Each structure stands twice: as C-alpha cells, then as structure tokens.
Structure 1
Amino acid sequence: MDAMISPYATGDNATASSVMSEQHQFQLFEESLRKVNILVFQMLINEIIPLSMGLEKKLERANNDELSDKLSKMEVTEGEESLSTVVPTYNTKDIIPSNELIHELSELKDEDKYNKVIDRVRNIGYQVGNKLSELLIFTNNPNLQFKEMDLLLIMKFICRDVWKQLYGKQIDNLKTNHRGTFYLIDYDYQPIREFCIEENALKKELKLVEPFLEFPVGIIKGVLASLGYSKEQVICLATFIDRPNNDIPDTTFAKGISFHVQITTQNNQ
C-alpha cells in the first residue's frame, strides 16, 4: 500500500511522508522493468571496449574528410529520388569484428589515439557509476547524507552495494591506510572471468585485457563524483594481481584485479 499523507501533516512529517511515497512508487516502477540476463549484461559491458575503438576509427576517417567526399558525390535528380540515393547504402565491409578491434587497440603505437579510446571507456563507466549511485541511494535511503560520512563507509558502499548491483558479487577485499588511500581487490572480476589466459601470461596477452579494467575505474570515479568528490580529487588505477589460491579452474581468468583509489579531501565541501 502506498504511503498516505495526512492532510494535517505539516513540516518535516509531511516532507518525510512525501519522500517515502515517492520512494515506494519508484521501487514499484523498478520491479516492473524487464530484467536483463546477467551473461548478456556482461557481454554488453565487454562490448564497450571494441565499440569505443571502432568509434575512434570512424571519427578518424571523418576527420580525414572521407565522409564529406562521399556526400559530395551523391547526385539526386529532382523527382527521381530513390532510397539508395536519399539514404546511402551501409557498407557491411566496414564492420570490423570485436576481437580484431581489441587486438588493434592493444597494438596501437599512437599513444594519443590509445588514450582517447581509454578515456571514452572510462567516461562511459563514469556516467554509469554516477547515475547508479543516485539510484541506489534513493531506493535504499533517500535521506542518507554521504557528505557527513567517513570515507571508509563510502568505499564500503562501493564494495558492497555498487559492485553487487553491477556484478552480482561484492568486492573480495578492502584495504586502507585511513589517510585517503584504498585498495579494492576483486579476485574474480566477472566480465573477464571467462578470458582464458594462463597465470604466467605474457605482458602482451595481459595488454589485451587492460582496457576492460577501465570501465570499473570509471564506475568508481563516477560514484565518488555523485557523492561530492570531483574528478580532480580522485585518482584510480587498476592493476593485475595474483590470486591467493592455486586451484584456479582452467576456464577462469588467472589474475585478480586491484583498484588503487586515492582521494584528497582538503577541497571537498
């Protein structure tokens, strides 16, 4: 039953009742939405990397005026327009398989181009993290004030609530020096767990996987931004680490991930 607001309620009571009603309505709306299969969702997340690389290639071609040249050659005679002239035919030969785009990205010599692709992946994660944080707070406790909380509690929110919402599991370990430096350790990061790379993998092989770590980096920075910590205040880096146990299945990625998060709070309001 929806929360009822008394006609005699005033001040804080009326405000609290209104917030509870809106929260309940949102929860009903959320429950009515179609659910996405977890495997499909992980595939969608992983497709962000080749998509970003493909987009960078298209932008590069556009900057070389190839698109302008094609448009200038299109001649449409009045009264004789056809679908093929009004809407140019999409050349399926331009579609590059995702695995080829990932290999191309890992072998890029142009550092500026590589960084543009990585920034795009990270920014997508940033937007997702920013919105997801607001959603989780409103759904669970809209009156929660994170600005008054200790940083450790905020990081626990990321490790527990955010990670579980995205990946169906919590971060495996959280370490801190209690001075703004945190290590979020995920020994079984779900989107790459099916990548079959051996424990003693060469640097070249791990280079293929590195871009996939930038999406969760963006997630972390996006969540922190929604809670009042700007991009300039947050440094987040992801690195491969050894997993603690030796009984790793052959079908599971052999490395864990450590997210090193450093936050400066002196300018935070």
Structure 2
Amino acid sequence: MAFQTPQPPSTADDPTATYVNLSCFELLLIEIVPMAYRIAAELAAREEAWQVGKEEKDVDSESLTKGFGIGGVGGSVVGRDEEETREAVGYRLDKMGYRVGQGLVERFSRDKPRFQDTLDAIKFLCKDLWLIVFRKQIDNLKTNHRGIYVLTDNRFAPLGKMSLERGRDGMMAQAQPFLYFPAGILRGALQAMGINATVQAETSELPGATFQIRTVGAKP
C-alpha cells in the first residue's frame, strides 16, 4: 500500500504512482484497533469451541467483548485475561505496522544514498518517513549515542481527536493500543534498513507520543 506524500510527484515523473487519500488513512488508524479486538474475540471463541468439541459457528465478536475493548479502551475479551488480550492485540497491530514500515522504506529510500550509520537511518525516519505517513516531522530526537534513541511527536495525529472525559487513567488505556501500529512501522522500517531494534511507544499527555528505539546491543 502506498500513502499520500505531502507533495506527491507529478504523474509525468512517475506515471505508475498511486496514493491513498489522507482521510482514508486516518480512518484506517481509527478502525484498526477495534478491528484487532474483534479478531481477538473471534479467535478466542473459536479456540474455546474447539476445546469443548462444539461445532464452529459464526461468531458475534461484539457480544464477546466487554469494557471498552471494542473501542480500544483497555477492554478485554470474554473468557480471556485482560493482559492476555492486550498482548494479542498489540502483537497483531505491531506485525501489521512492521509490514507497512518495510514497504515504505523499500519504496521511498531506494533513490537515496546508503545510510552511513544508524543515526542517519533514524534521522530518515524522523524527517522523511514521518512526513510521508503523518504529514509532519518528528519534533524531537534524543540519543545516548549507545544505541538508544527517543523520538517525540508533540502532536501525534492518531491521538489528536481523543477525549479526556474518562480521566487520565482512561486516557492512557485508550491511547496505548493506537501506538502499537506506528511502533511496528518504525520497527519494520529499521529492519528494512538492516537495523535490528525494539520499539516501545507511550504517551503521558495527549496528543503527544514518545517512541523509544533500542537497537540490538544497546547500552543504557
């Protein structure tokens, strides 16, 4: 899938170029979390049916979710521990983002010179990749120069329309699942550039988000 760049090249430069409307991408980001909860619910129901020897039937995933899970707000799946559900959802979203990140780097870095070191690759993520996906650059980049990088987006688009009506704890639970997919994008992009790393994302104040990248062998 290709995403719309802020200033896409003309069709004369690239007659095969296709772009997805920014509004469509924002809707995808909004829907992707509840979709992951629905899938988790369906898989859990089918697993339970298989264990008790019941005939597999169509599953109403919404009836199997409780709390605020279907909206991505710290909910759970009936018959499953909340932490187990959150891990399953996070794993699925991270994998989806990973594939997207790989594809983006393969397409948009192919005409760039080879990166000299990891810091150059991280700067490409902060400036070019973030601009392509979220129409803005990362606001701040910090590093300990030993393999750990902290990227801060003060106005992270997927969190921009979230409400604080459920209080701070509710806000944190609501926001966290929406960070798994972009964290996966970063991890996949780094892997495509030959860098093995883990990515942890969190928010302490809406709509800001922080992404900590820890490369293999990094020292605190």
TM-score, normalized by the shorter chain, greater than 0.5: yes
Separation (CA, whole Å) in 2 of partners of 1:70 and 1:256? 47
Residue aligning to 1:126: 98
* Residue identity opposite 2:21 in structure 1: N
Separation (CA, whole Å) in 2 of partners of 1:168 and 1:102? 28
SS of corresponding position for 2:109: helix
Report the CA distance shift for 1:95/1:218 in structure 2 as closer, same or farther (over 3 A).
same
Per-residue deviation, residues 111-154 of structure 1 (Å, max 9, x unmatched): 2232111110111111100111101112x33xx323xx121111
Equivalent residues in 2 for 1:55-94, closer than 5 Å: 55-65=39-49, 69-70=54-55, 94=60
Structure with the largest fraction of helix: 1
Shift of 1:155: 0.5
Separation (CA, whole Å) in 1 of partners of 2:106 and 2:22? 22
Per-residue deviation, residues 18-77 of structure 1 (Å, max 9, x unmatched): xxxxxx9993211xx2x33212211102211111111111111111237x8456xxxxxx
2:114 aligned with 1:145: yes
Separation (CA, whole Å) in 2 of partners of 1:48 and 1:207? 16
Report the CA distance shift for 1:226/1:260 in structure 2 as closer, same or farther (over 3 A).
same
SS of corresponding position for 2:175: helix
2:75 aligned with 1:107: yes
The one of 188, 191, 196 equivalent to 2:163 is 196
Shift of 1:95: 5.8
Q: Which has the larger radius of gyration?
A: 1
Paired residues in the alignment total 201
CA contact (8 A) 1:105 1:114 kept: no
2:37 aligned with 1:50: no
* Residue identity opposite 2:134 in structure 1: Y
Gaps of 5+ in 1: 1-23, 72-87, 243-253
Separation (CA, whole Å) in 1 of partners of 2:202 and 2:48? 36
Residue aligning to 1:136: 108
Shift of 1:103: 4.9
Residue aligning to 1:248: none
Gaps of 5+ in 2: 1-10
* Residue identity opposite 1:217 in structure 2: A
Q: Which moved more, 1:203-212 or 1:214-223?
A: 203-212
SS of corresponding position for 1:220: helix
Shift of 1:183: 0.8
2:192 aligned with 1:259: no
RMSD over aligned CA atoms reads 3.1
Report the CA distance shift for 1:221/1:191 in structure 2 as closer, same or farther (over 3 A).
same
Separation (CA, whole Å) in 1 of partners of 2:217 and 2:12? 36
Shift of 1:217: 0.8
Structure with the largest fraction of strand: 2
Separation (CA, whole Å) in 1 of partners of 2:34 and 2:169? 20
Shift of 1:106: 0.6
Separation (CA, whole Å) in 2 of partners of 1:104 and 1:130? 25
2:199 aligned with 1:236: yes
Report the CA distance shift for 1:163/1:104 in structure 2 as closer, same or farther (over 3 A).
closer
Taking structure 2 as the reference length, the TM-score comes to: 0.79
CA contact (8 A) 1:43 1:191 kept: no
Separation (CA, whole Å) in 2 of partners of 1:25 and 1:137? 20
Separation (CA, whole Å) in 1 of partners of 2:72 and 2:152? 29
Taking structure 1 as the reference length, the TM-score comes to: 0.65
Report the CA distance shift for 1:95/1:116 in structure 2 as closer, same or farther (over 3 A).
closer
